[in-house]
């Protein structure tokens, strides 16, 4: 059996847009997968990239019903290339696995294109032998749309590779209170940060924005950091919240937290800081189940929850975060999900 992963190489930047996919590719390549990589296609060169991908696939000596090909979705290739490629894979009887990062029809419901229709995405996913999803919420959604639950594997959380984490000291000693909160991410979709004047907890903010934002006095903007170094700057608790409101997560970005597995959750964990997350988020149950933080209904809950938190409570959360961070840094969840899929492929092909 040969194991392969198709990866689309994106330009390097200080945002973490491509890091989750890059990490999964690196984890699998380091564990025996071949990397079939192409660069992100521009509109001008989409046909060229399409031909490159198909030619690379055709150049492999595939063993029908035995070899494995892994895709990560969204692929950045567009629906025509996606569907043509998968039709070629099916025609040649190659086992296929898709790892879903986002569902565009839910993430961008106002876009008017092929993938603004959930059924189009569902039909594409259903072409694969197995579907790896980030959480139970997306698994439930796919099953409700007719996808066989037996072909769905839940990853639980994204791994996060970060060699710089080895240099990081623990962020708190017994005397360091009050607690701080860190927020990292795309600030354009986190305009609630400009409305935090009613809470006392100091908040450090990291990320890029295209529209200038004015922050209240308790919020300190710390600039944009590279995904490979930002863990050095985070402390206290990591906040997961999106949208324009401090009372609930509103708008497309806020509502998407009900399905999304934010990569910043993994970032906070490998940064060895516990997590504060909206209680209706898809990953809220994961945070509570693993006792790595707490959930909030509204932003103003942060002050009260932190005021009641003792250093003993924090140390328990910190220990759980440290234990989990070791798994993320070593690709545990990626390998568990992919290996389970391959094992089930073998049983299905017997």
Say what the pLDDT of residue 176 is: 55
User: What residues does 221 pair with on adjacent strands?
Assistant: 205
Contact present, 190 and 170 (Cβ < 8 Å): no
User: What residues does 314 pair with on adjacent strands?
Assistant: none
pLDDT digit string, tens, across residues 310-338: 989 999 999 999 999 999 999 999 999 99
CB-count burial class (<10 Å; 0-12, 13-18, 19+) for 321:
buried
Tally the residues of the chain: 350
Q: What angle do CA 134, 154, 17 make, to 5 degrees?
A: 20
Distances in Å between the Cα of 58 and the Cα atoms of 38, 53, 62, 144, 281 are 14, 9, 8, 35, 42
**183: pLDDT strictly greater than 60:** yes
Say what the pLDDT of residue 43 is: 57
Q: How confident is the model at residue 218 (pLDDT cuts 50, 70, 90)?
A: very high
Say what the pLDDT of residue 195 is: 92
pLDDT digit string, tens, across residues 99-146: 999 999 999 888 877 677 899 999 999 999 999 999 999 999 999 999
CB-count burial class (<10 Å; 0-12, 13-18, 19+) for 185:
buried
Token pair, residue 342, equals 């391959």
Q: What is the mean pLDDT of the chain?
A: 89
Q: How far apart are CA 325 and CA 160, in angstroms?
A: 9
Q: How confident is the model at residue 63 (pLDDT cuts 50, 70, 90)?
A: confident
**185: pLDDT strictly greater than 60:** yes
Sorted by where each starts, the structural domains of the chain and their CATH numbers stand as: 3-159+331-348 (3.40.50.2000), 163-329 (3.40.50.2000)
Say what the pLDDT of residue 48 is: 63
Distances in Å between the Cα of 337 and the Cα atoms of 125, 135, 179 are 16, 12, 35
Q: How far apart are CA 276 and CA 287, in angstroms?
A: 8
Angle between helices 263-270 and 19-29 (to 10 degrees): 70
């Amino acid at each position: 059996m040969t194991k392969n992963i198709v990866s689309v190489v994106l330009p390097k930047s200080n945002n973490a847009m491509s890091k989750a996919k890059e990490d999964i590719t690196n984890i699998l390549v380091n564990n025996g997968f071949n990397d079939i990589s192409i660069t992100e296609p521009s509109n001008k060169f989409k046909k060229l990239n399409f031909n490159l991908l198909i030619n690379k696939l055709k150049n492999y000596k595939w063993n029908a019903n035995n070899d494995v090909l892994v895709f990560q979705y969204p692929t950045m290739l567009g629906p025509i290339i996606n569907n043509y490629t998968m039709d070629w894979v099916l025609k040649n009887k190659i086992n296929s696995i898709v790892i879903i990062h986002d569902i565009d029809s839910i993430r961008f419901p106002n876009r008017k294109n092929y993938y603004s229709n959930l059924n189009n995405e569902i039909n594409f996913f259903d072409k694969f032998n197995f579907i790896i999803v980030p959480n139970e919420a997306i698994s439930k959604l796919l099953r409700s749309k007719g996808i066989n639950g037996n072909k769905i594997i839940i990853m639980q959380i994204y791994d996060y590779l970060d060699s710089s984490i080895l240099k990081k000291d623990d962020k708190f000693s017994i005397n360091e209170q009050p607690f701080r909160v860190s927020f990292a991410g795309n600030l354009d979709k986190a305009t609630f940060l400009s409305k935090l004047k009613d809470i006392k907890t100091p908040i450090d903010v990291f990320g890029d924005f295209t529209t200038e934002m004015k922050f209240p006095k308790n919020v300190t903007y710390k600039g944009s950091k590279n995904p490979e170094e930002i863990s050095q700057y985070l402390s206290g608790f990591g906040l997961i919240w999106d949208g324009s409101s401090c009372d609930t997560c509103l708008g497309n970005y806020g509502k998407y937290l009900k399905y999304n597995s934010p990569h910043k959750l993994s970032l906070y964990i490998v940064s060895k800081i516990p997590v504060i997350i909206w209680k209706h988020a898809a990953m809220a149950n994961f945070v509570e189940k693993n006792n790595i933080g707490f959930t909030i209904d509204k932003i103003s809950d942060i002050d009260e929850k932190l005021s009641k938190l003792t250093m003993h409570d924090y140390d328990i959360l910190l220990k759980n975060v440290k234990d989990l961070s070791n798994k993320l840094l070593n690709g545990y969840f990626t390998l568990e999900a992919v290996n389970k899929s391959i094992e089930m492929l073998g049983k299905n092909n017997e």
